[in-house]
Amino acid sequence: MNRGRKISGGKYHRQRKKKHYEKDTQEKIVTLGETKKRKIKVRGGHLKTILLNEKKANIMIKGKSQKAEIKNVLETPQNTFMARQNKLTKGAVIETSLGKARITNRPSQEGQINAILVD
């Protein structure tokens, strides 16, 4: 069958265009490197700070937060190839100066990296 056509052969027409806040944005995946942030406009006139590159993480140790340098990405549960490319996503296990840690937030949405130590 022809795509976008009715059974009679007529075209389906879009009811309306997408509004600005409904449009998809380019996927932003944080990589390991010198800190690089960007602000983007979001709905309601607000600004969201997103990360593009980062080399430090906030590690929670017994309820206290401590900054640590990220050395390497060991594994990523979503995709094994992302670990090889040093992409930082939620759930990724990273090697830091304090030991192995797991990222607990979405760095591409929040502008920082939070993690907890893994034994």
What are the pLDDT digits (tens) for 7-25? 898 998 889 999 888 888 8
**Which of these ranges, 17-26, 29-38, 91-100, 108-117, has the smallest mean pLDDT?**
17-26
Nearest to 103 by CA among 118, 112, 95, 114: 114
The answer to whether residue 19 sits within a structural domain is no
CATH code, domain with 37: 3.10.290.70
Residue 42, pLDDT > 90, answer no
The answer to the question of residue 78 being in a domain is yes
Is residue 67 situated within a structural domain?
yes
The answer to whether residue 33 is domain-embedded is yes
Number of domains in the chain: 1
d(CA 101, CA 119): 8
| 106 falls within a domain | yes
* CA gap 30, 88 in Å, rounded: 5
Residue range 16-39: mean pLDDT, rounded? 89
The average pLDDT across 52-73 equals: 95
Does position 27 have pLDDT exceeding 90, yes or no?
no
Q: In this structure, is residue 3 part of a structural domain?
A: no
Q: Are β-strands 99-103 and 114-117 bridged in parallel, bridged antiparallel, or unpaired?
A: antiparallel
Question: Which residues, including other chains, have CB under 8 Å from residue 63's CB and lie 6 or more apart?
Answer: none
Instruction: Show the domain range for 100.
Output: 28-117
pTM over 0.75: yes
